[in-house]
Amino acid sequence: MSRAMWHGGRTTMAEIKPESSAEALDTVEASATHHSADGLSHRLDAGGPSTTLTRANGRGPRWYGFTAFVLSGGGARGALQVGALRALMEAGIRPDVVVGTSIGAWNGALLAREPTLTGVDTIAAAWLSAHPTRVLLGMEPPANSPVSAHATMRMLVAARRIAAGHSSLYGDTGLRDFIKRLVGDLTFEDLALPLRVIATDITHGTRAVFGSGPLGPAILASSAIPGIFPPVRIEDAVYVDGGALDNSSIETALALGARRLFVLDVGYDEQAVGSDLWSGEALARRSKDHKDSKQHRNDKNGGRRPSIHPLAALLERTSQVVSHYQLVQALARVPPGIETHVIHVGLAASGGALEFEKAPLWIDKGYEFTCAYLERARPAVPLLVAGLT
């Protein structure tokens, strides 16, 4: 059996095995649990559908047209999702439920709070304040200082933490502060749309799906990139970034009853930016430069140190490859009859997961890429937006 899927504007056919059916979804949904509010973020590990998800437009879980936005992780590249969301909303495509991992949880929480174009403006405004020094170090960037000075400061902090035996290149003070500014004391129950946040439980070796209680701890856990930020403890478990297990949680969206998927993937950089760092080329080049000042002056990096630590570059690239593989496998398991749109917004721009200063450019790039995708995907898209409010 085959099913049409649209990937970045090109139509391909994915072979679906007979065992990939609604029966598998029933198994996942049966494990959903519910917790009473007690001030802690709670797991709803399948995120199973319920009658409370039925929207004012009359659509409910498993109805034709019940739409999920699945927002992948990807660090600062999540700015591309903001432009993509604007393009989708302008086209009249709106979600009934939202699933977010890591940076996708940031964007997803704000979208679920206000799923309108005004809400997208709010997300964009938050991104424009996301300077890497604020997020990574919890400090205000020095006024009028050059970008290279900021990068050097971040590199020194990372090097000192490694020397001191910390488990991550950066602490989470900046991350906590930024998430606090984003969502304050909001809970999942305060949102206009159902939201599920994906994290990785390294205590019990499982995927965690948060859907109840305070938003802040769940988003922090989902964003704790291994090696970059420290793990997060909630109750009896320790969590790291959800992308370690499920960067684009299509399974969670299906368990919520989605029958139409828009996956905004920013987790993979096809151009492999930073390869000179994670392949060891930068280290070899700097070693030669130390012996040959002339070669140093002619170095393609102008003799400057890289803006991120090579360890961070290696961790990022590993995460990208894992996430890309996960997505391919998840798409192969989507049952027949599910309208699946994978918008690889990450192809719109190149850059690292910690380059938050590129947010303004990437928001624009994400918008342009998604507008072009929607135009190329016609005539399928007009059918998708029919009946949306």
Catalytic (active site) residue 190: no
Q: Catalytic: which of 72, 102, 168, 222?
A: 102
- CA dist list (Å): 366 to 13, 81, 87, 265, 361: 25, 6, 9, 11, 9
Closest CA to 243 of 224, 262, 217, 269: 224
Residue 304 tokens read as 């400057």
The pairing of strands 237-241 and 195-201 is antiparallel
Catalytic (active site) residue 45: no
Closest CA to 102 of 265, 213, 251: 265
Judge contact between 219 and 190, C-beta under 8 A.
Answer: no
Rounded to a whole number, what is the distance in angstroms from the first to the last CA of the chain? 33
Q: Catalytic: which of 45, 96, 201, 241?
A: 241
The pairing of strands 67-71 and 339-343 is unpaired
- CA dist list (Å): 247 to 45, 143, 224, 299, 388: 15, 36, 13, 36, 28
Judge contact between 315 and 73, C-beta under 8 A.
Answer: no
306/304 Cα distance (integer angstroms): 6
367/370 Cα distance (integer angstroms): 5
Residue 326 tokens read as 């996960």
Residue 266 tokens read as 């920013």
Positions marked active-site: 102, 241
